[in-house]
């Protein structure tokens, strides 16, 4: 019994994590749905924070909120950050250099995903996210009718008509698309706005709209260079689908005529890689001069919120998409985050799940990505 200075029995706290053990405690912590609750739990004690990191709970919460996060295969830092990553690791507890490095990766992942989920859930101010044009599937007259005109609000600029025009087609079923680069590798997208073009200079003032539109979000397979973007001299070369890893495609939205139409996504979607493709399907209007179908667009907006452009980024790799973490924004170092009996928690959770057939709210494939291969 513990006695205080006045001789009274002092209450002693009991850490339920130590009492329950890592396996049962992991199931309890996985029930925390609010990232703020998880952050508070991680701040209670060293053992609680160790458990949160070992079971990848911050990443699990990101996955629950935004399934697109599952495309990240790892977090990548520069050599500068990696060289300082051994600070605060108790090598005796870790048992080996390899284990210490793995534990540093746990700490880094915890910090990065907490930053990401905080940004995803923070108050948002939706704004236009298009930074540049990558290219169009076809253009009738470049640069006069190029994709760069769709960045101008409305359908006129300097008293001249401003729009993009596809090439003409005899078949009204031939689709067209426009590809844009966003202002950040990670953008939370909520809405797309599109205004078809009305040709006031042609008989009957026809509207060259499409029947349907859909959008796709993705990541370039190679970093985009300045010369890859559309300019007055460059029509854009990287429009083919095999230049990108597409991770989200919306359903088709019916288009109206000659209005700035809003297309709200069913939920805000995390665009990873900073590339948006706007695809137009079904042609409506023939041009009287050549009897061919065209699609013409006056203006396109992609409304969303850029996420931590100075801290996080995305890049392709041989094994998937890498979540990049810039070294000038280092996570705080621990004075000592020892692992005690937690260092084999992944293996023990796998053994327990295999024995009971239970999962922590996820299927086996997803759990494999979080905890590594089963043992």
d(CA 176, CA 196): 13
Per-position DSSP letters for 123-153, written without gaps between them: ----EE-EEEEEEES--SSTTTT-GGGGGSS
Instruction: At 149, list the tokens.
Output: 């005109």
pLDDT tens sequence across 239-290? 999 999 999 999 999 998 767 899 999 999 999 999 999 999 999 999 999 9
Report the alpha-carbon distance of residue 97 to residue 274 in Å, rounded. Answer: 37
**pLDDT tens per residue, range 163-220:** 999 999 999 999 999 999 999 999 999 999 999 999 998 999 999 999 999 999 999 9
Question: DSSP readout, 295-343?
Answer: -EEEEEEEEEEE--TTTEEEEEETTEEEEEE-TTSPPPPPS----GGGT
- Look at residue 54 and tell me whether its pLDDT is greater than 60: yes
3-state helix vs strand vs coil in the chain, percent to 5: 30, 30, 40
Enumerate the domain spans of the chain.
Answer: 16-122+311-371, 127-306
Pairing of strands 261-272, 186-196: antiparallel
User: Hey, what are 221's tokens?
Assistant: 């397979």
Q: What is the pLDDT of residues 93-105, one digit of tens each?
A: 445 566 667 778 7
Q: What is the DSSP letter of 221?
A: S
**Assessment of whether the complete model's pTM goes beyond 0.85:** no
Nearest CA among 250, 267, 244 for reference residue 212: 250
Question: 127-306 domain in CATH 3.40.630.30?
Answer: no
State the first-to-last Cα distance of the chain, in angstroms, to the nearest integer: 42
């Amino acid at each position: 019994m513990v006695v205080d200075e006045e001789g009274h029995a002092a209450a002693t706290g009991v850490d339920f994590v130590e009492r329950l053990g890592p396996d049962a405690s992991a199931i309890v912590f996985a029930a925390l749905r609010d990232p703020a609750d998880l952050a508070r739990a991680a701040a209670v004690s060293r053992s609680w924070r160790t458990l949160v990191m070992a079971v990848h709970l911050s990443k699990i919460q990101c996955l629950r909120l935004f399934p697109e996060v599952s495309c990240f295969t790892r977090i990548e830092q520069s050599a500068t950050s990696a060289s300082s990553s051994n600070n605060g690791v108790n090598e005796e507890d870790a048992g080996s250099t390899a284990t210490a490095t793995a534990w540093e990766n746990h700490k880094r992942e915890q910090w990065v995903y907490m930053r990401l989920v905080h940004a995803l859930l923070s108050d948002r101010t939706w704004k236009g996210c298009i930074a540049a044009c990558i290219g169009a599937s076809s253009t009738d007259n470049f640069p006069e009718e190029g994709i760069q005109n769709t960045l101008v609000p409305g359908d006129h600029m300097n008293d001249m008509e401003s729009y993009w025009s596809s090439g003409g087609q005899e078949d009204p079923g031939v689709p067209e698309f426009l590809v844009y680069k966003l202002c950040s590798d990670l953008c939370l997208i909520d809405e797309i706005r599109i205004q078809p073009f009305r040709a006031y200079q042609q008989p009957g003032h026809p509207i060259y709209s499409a029947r349907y539109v859909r959008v796709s979000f993705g990541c370039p397979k190679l970093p985009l260079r300045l010369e890859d973007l559309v300019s007055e001299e460059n029509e854009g070369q990287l429009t083919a689908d095999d230049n990108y890893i597409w991770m989200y495609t919306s359903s088709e939205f019916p288009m109206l005529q000659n209005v700035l139409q809003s297309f709200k996504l069913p939920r805000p979607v995390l665009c990873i890689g900073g590339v948006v493709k706007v695809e137009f399907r079904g042609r409506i209007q023939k041009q009287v001069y050549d009897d061919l179908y065209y699609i013409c667009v006056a203006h396109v907006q992609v409304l969303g919120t850029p996420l931590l452009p100075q801290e996080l980024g995305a890049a392709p790799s041989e094994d998937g998409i890498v979540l990049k973490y810039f070294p000038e924004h280092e996570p705080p170092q621990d004075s000592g985050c020892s692992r005690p009996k937690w260092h084999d928690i992944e293996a023990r959770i796998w053994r327990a799940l295999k024995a009971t057939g239970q999962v922590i709210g996820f299927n086996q494939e997803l759990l494999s990505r979080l905890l590594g291969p089963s043992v």
